[in-house]
Amino acid sequence: MSDYYETLGVARDASQDQIKKAYRKLARELHPDVAGPEAEDRFKDVSRAYEVLSHPDKRQQYDLGSDPSAPGGGQGGGFGFQDIFETFFGGGQQSGPIPRARRGQDALVRLDIDLAEATFGAKREIQVDTAVVCGTCSGSCCAPGTSPRTCEVCHGRGTVQRVARSFLGQVMTTQPCAACQGFGTVIPEPCVECAGEGRVRSRRTITVNVPAGVDTGTRIKLTAQGEVGPGGGSAGDLYVEIRERNHETFLRRGDDLHCTLQVPMTAAALGTVLEVDTLDGMQEVDLRPGTQPGQIITLKGLGVGHLHASGRGDLNVHVEIQVPTGLDEAQEELLRQLARARGEERPEPRLSAAHPGVFSRLRDKFSGR
């Protein structure tokens, strides 16, 4: 029996990645198109060694002294309890060969967006490292000009039958063919580019349509944009998970936005119209005479867009009144005159229950306190 580890030039405890790298290096050097016809036999030996060592089951059989690539390889005459169990309870039954092409795995990437993109929606381009169909073999797993060969052990059925004697008498079991791993075919000359997998790793640029109303944790599904499966199988799905960056001015709660508007005491007492910069540009805020600290002025429809419905949330402006400091003598005298006119030179103190700030109340509400 040939020493497949020596053929590939790897240690017996080599990892699958090391085996794959060794095969690709040798296959490039020994391919008949490169090294000439005289290297054909050596190229076939390398391909046969890789065919066995690249499959964990075949490699295990080989390490135990059986050559799965040889006709009848891996088929022993023993019969154990597992065989009996599978015979009477259907374990391990398989109808026909297994398709070599299988669906790829789903993939997950994260995308950071700002508040404006979450509010109005956006179109973003992301780069994804994923598995794509091999351009050299187009997913066939075979070197150009070659094709899969019908397995000589199972004759394309993907399964083999064994008859053995047990304490129950003569029984027959059907098991996946160890020589072809149940595919019904073997690949005599795997593609050098993809090492017989039918796919390679590549970086792609994908356009993502971010709908209005997304929030941190929202996942956008891109069908069939995930990894291509082994054997050039169909691609899985790609999920884009949103992470929204904090805004320096606006605090988001659901689809509503909150901000603080600082106004002078005189403006709150007399009333005025102020312009504030919002996500929709400059907007007027009508400050009514006698506006109190903590009062909320709601600007309808200037919040975040609803994810699953039309319309938008609101922008809630929390008024914070600034008490003047650093007054000169004339300004102090004017305030004293106002206090005398309102009878507030010696105001009577009134105690009431403490009220936390608006953002503390919001935080407590959403944290379940």
pTM of the model: 0.66
Report the distance separating Cα 271 and Cα 3, nearest Å: 92
Last residue of a domain, one of 70, 95, 122: 70
Give the CATH number for residue 279. 2.60.260.20
User: 112 with 186, same domain?
Assistant: yes
User: Residues marked as binding for Zn(2+)?
Assistant: 134, 137, 151, 154, 177, 180, 191, 194
Give the annotated binding-site residues: 134, 137, 151, 154, 177, 180, 191, 194
256 and 313: one domain? yes
Q: Is residue 77 part of a domain?
A: no
User: Which residues 6+ apart lie within 8 Å of 255 measured at CB?
Assistant: 213, 303, 304, 305, 306, 312, 313
Does 51 lie in the same domain as 124?
A: no
Res 78: pLDDT: 41
What are the mean pLDDT values of the chain's consecutive 10-residue runs (369 residues total)? 84 88 85 74 86 84 72 46 45 68 93 97 94 94 93 90 62 81 92 93 95 96 94 94 96 96 94 95 95 95 94 96 92 90 81 62 53
Let me know: does 240 contact 217? Beta carbons within 8 Å.
Answer: no
- Check whether residue 240 and residue 256 sit in a common domain: no
Domain containing 40 — which CATH number? Answer: 1.10.287.110
Supply the range of the domain harboring residue 310.
Answer: 251-347+356-366
Looking at the structure, do residues 183 and 121 belong to the same domain, yes or no?
yes
Q: Are residues 241 and 255 in the same domain?
A: no
Is residue 259 assigned to a domain?
A: yes
40 within a domain of the structure (yes/no): yes
Looking at residue 33, its pLDDT comes to: 66
Choose one of 222, 245, 268: the last residue of a domain: 245
Among the three residues 190, 220, 245, which one is the final residue of a domain in this structure? 245
